[in-house]
Structure 1
Amino acid sequence: MNKKVAIIGGGIVGASAAYYLSSLPGGDQINVTLFDDGAGQATKAAAGIISPWLSKRRNQRWYQLAKDGATTLMTLARRANLSTDIYQQTGTIITRTNEKDLHDLYVLAQERHEEAPDMGEIELLSANDVKERLPLLTNPQPGVYVSGGARIDGEALVESLLEQAQQVNLTVKHQRVSLDNRGNIVAANGLQRFDDIIIAAGPWLTDLVAPLGIKVAVRPQKGQLIELSVPAYESQENMPVLMPEGERDFIPFGHGKLIVGATHDDEAGFNLTATPEATEDLLSSAKQFADYLTEDNITRTKVGTRAYTPDFAPFFGRLKNYPKLLVASGLGASGLTTGPLIGRLLAGTLIYGGTPDWSNYEKPLATYLS
């Protein structure tokens, strides 16, 4: 009799877990059901940069998770045959306006390359060099180029992973569910029993585990980005992505599409309404580097809700007092980088069992759950 697994949440962690449960050896012995109503999901509203190596964050566990997450994505892109519209290693340019800061960043890149060969080639670029690689810019700044950096479309990634898993052992149900006080799923048609349940519902984890008497140190954060129509250069599909100092990410996609974002709004909670203030913030940031952009260039706005913990670190694993429940949350703005690895780790423990030690990636779950 096949094992029955449920996943609550179809974002980056849930979709990745579903994909690996369908593709890892032994996954054919599992029937997977994924529940997601789609409302507010951060991944569907996300497009981002995969380039964690030069982060200023001092949390070494997070850095290890993000570094290995970037490697996981490189492998996943080949394994799942992701198109370049979804994931492409275009390289990343991280800018600095101060000459000393630029030099220090270049030295840091060389140091971290020793333990992170997936960074690829590292180059110090002048403003003119940056302009040559990113002709969309009118006001380029000098920066450090890392060839292993990539751009990713979160919504398209999730759709591709779920579509592939559905061809094997996954059933997707577009509905909101809850848990009873024993950890069973309550769906539209009543109580549902599963052998294991992965709860990958971002900031909604708090409400889901409340019937179990569990409190979660997670808060919602609203994020908004804009998509713009820009001149379609022949080289645009291969243009590097830009991480400007103190500004929003600048992400060229192919076919004349540019994405800028995202904002970080800690006060709006679960509100999914795009605001003129956030749009102006994003457009103003983009105009710092491409001064020809106006509101007329904006073709689309997306809004989603991220999950943050007090120390800005993600957590994931099996609940001690409810061993059939596994949770993951708190990925914040790095979800597209860390989510696929977390999904693979959770899928692996469901297939192969055991009590894996993930302490190199996270603090104990009790740090965030009480």
Structure 2
Amino acid sequence: MNITIIGGGLAGASIGYHLVKMGNSVTIYDRKDKGQATFASAGIVCPWISQRRNKKWYRLVTKSAHYYPDFISTLEKESGMSTGYKNSGAICLFKENIFDKATKRISDKAVDNPDVGQVRQLTKEELSALHPALTTEYPALIVEGGGQVRGQKLLAAIKEAFIGLGGRWEEKSYENSIDDDTFKIYTTGAWGKEQKYKPEIAHQRAEIMHFKLLTQKVQQSPVVMALGPTYIVHLENDKYVIGTTHIDTDSFDTEPSEESYNYLRDELYKYFKPEDVEITEMGVGLKPYTRDFLPFIGYVDNNTFVVNGMGSTGLTASPFVGKEVALLLNGMPTELDLNDYSYTEPQN
């Protein structure tokens, strides 16, 4: 097949990578829009702690997490590049009154899924050993199967491998002529509204705060899933990130806001002493969603395929979705029933 992919974020790059490995001729067009979700992603791969009850979403993300280790091993060999992938576990913090209930909820998911790893409650001493500067005010457990990856490094490695396997990567807009019968895959993220396909794509503004820990010198701290939607991720050396905001918007403005800065600074000081941290910069990404927060994966006409609405799922799911879409387009069996994600009506 001769295939054109419009959008060079993680979804588009992953689909292109898997397609060229199956012998297809693929060109990716990416106009490098500022605000691509990949560049404001913390890189957490730990879907089992979510309280979302959508079974279609959960099947997608758990199979995606299972695919990650083998995918990364192959990709790093083919690209010769590091993705920053680490299976360092995930620390989860809770309020005291729900701690035991949360522990049981996550432990139950480990019963039939070895990818989750051991789930166990931590003493304050164990928590401090794993993350010395982190507060011990909140009860904590660890999910040992949790991991992380650097979004920008992952995208760079996929792009390198894609080109090395014979794919073409054009850093410019795709000009669609009226008589163009090329098979097209749109993976345009927040800019998906330009194509006007159903379901409609909206986006949220996600801001993250980069900071340094001045007192903590450890090789690698686990991901921290803090209270509510807050997370803390160790990038490298003394560099960390805390996130994120979820602000519905029609704007494509990617300048950091004072409101988000103040919110994330206050979150930061819940978990670290102000004198132990140095705030360095803010990052902004635009994350695409459908109205049901379930990714759309499917045909919109005989010659056009769309993958969008990945939202916060994008980093975890994109490599596996890339494989599944490549299998589907080449007439091969997929692990998921992709009809579950090809919808225009509200999903339960």
- TM-score, L = length of structure 1: 0.85
Tell me the secondary structure at the aligned position of residue 86 of structure 1.
coil
Letter aligned with residue 343 of structure 1: G
Letter aligned with residue 106 of structure 1: T
Q: Which structure 2 residue ranges, 5 or more long, are not aligned?
A: none
- Whether the 8 Å contact between 1:61 and 1:360 is mirrored in structure 2 is no
Q: Which structure 1 residue ranges, 5 or more long, are not aligned?
A: 185-192
Partner of 1:353: 331
- Counterpart Cα distance in 2 of 1:81 and 1:140: 39
- Counterpart Cα distance in 2 of 1:261 and 1:130: 21
Partner of 2:145: 148
More deviation in 51-60 or 242-251? 242-251
Letter aligned with residue 69 of structure 2: M
Tell me the secondary structure at the aligned position of residue 63 of structure 1.
helix
- Counterpart Cα distance in 2 of 1:292 and 1:203: 35
1:31 aligns with 2:25: yes
- Whether the 8 Å contact between 1:199 and 1:328 is mirrored in structure 2 is yes
Tell me the secondary structure at the aligned position of residue 204 of structure 1.
helix
Residues 132-187 of structure 1 show CA distances to partners (whole Å, capped at 9, x for unaligned) of: 211121445222211110112111110111111111121111112254567x4xxx
- Whether the 8 Å contact between 2:324 and 2:335 is mirrored in structure 1 is no
Partner of 1:314: 295
2:48 corresponds to which of 45, 53, 78: 53
- Counterpart Cα distance in 2 of 1:324 and 1:59: 30
Alpha-carbon RMSD = 2.4
Partner of 2:307: 328
Q: Could you tell me how far 1:364 is from its partner in structure 2?
A: 3.8
Partner of 2:104: 107
Partner of 2:57: 62
1:97 corresponds to which of 80, 95, 98: 95
Partner of 2:225: 243
- Whether the 8 Å contact between 2:83 and 2:157 is mirrored in structure 1 is no
1:176 aligns with 2:154: no
Letter aligned with residue 263 of structure 1: T
Alignment of 1:262-301 (within 5 A): 262-267=244-249, 269-292=251-274, 297-301=278-282
1:207 aligns with 2:194: yes
Partner of 1:344: 323
- Whether the 8 Å contact between 2:18 and 2:326 is mirrored in structure 1 is yes
Q: Could you tell me how far 1:230 is from its partner in structure 2?
A: 1.8
Partner of 1:120: 117
- Counterpart Cα distance in 1 of 2:42 and 2:152: 8
Partner of 1:218: 201
- TM-score, L = length of structure 2: 0.90
Q: Could you tell me how far 1:268 is from its partner in structure 2?
A: 5.3
Aligned-pair identity (%): 26
- Counterpart Cα distance in 2 of 1:356 and 1:325: 19
- Counterpart Cα distance in 2 of 1:84 and 1:127: 33
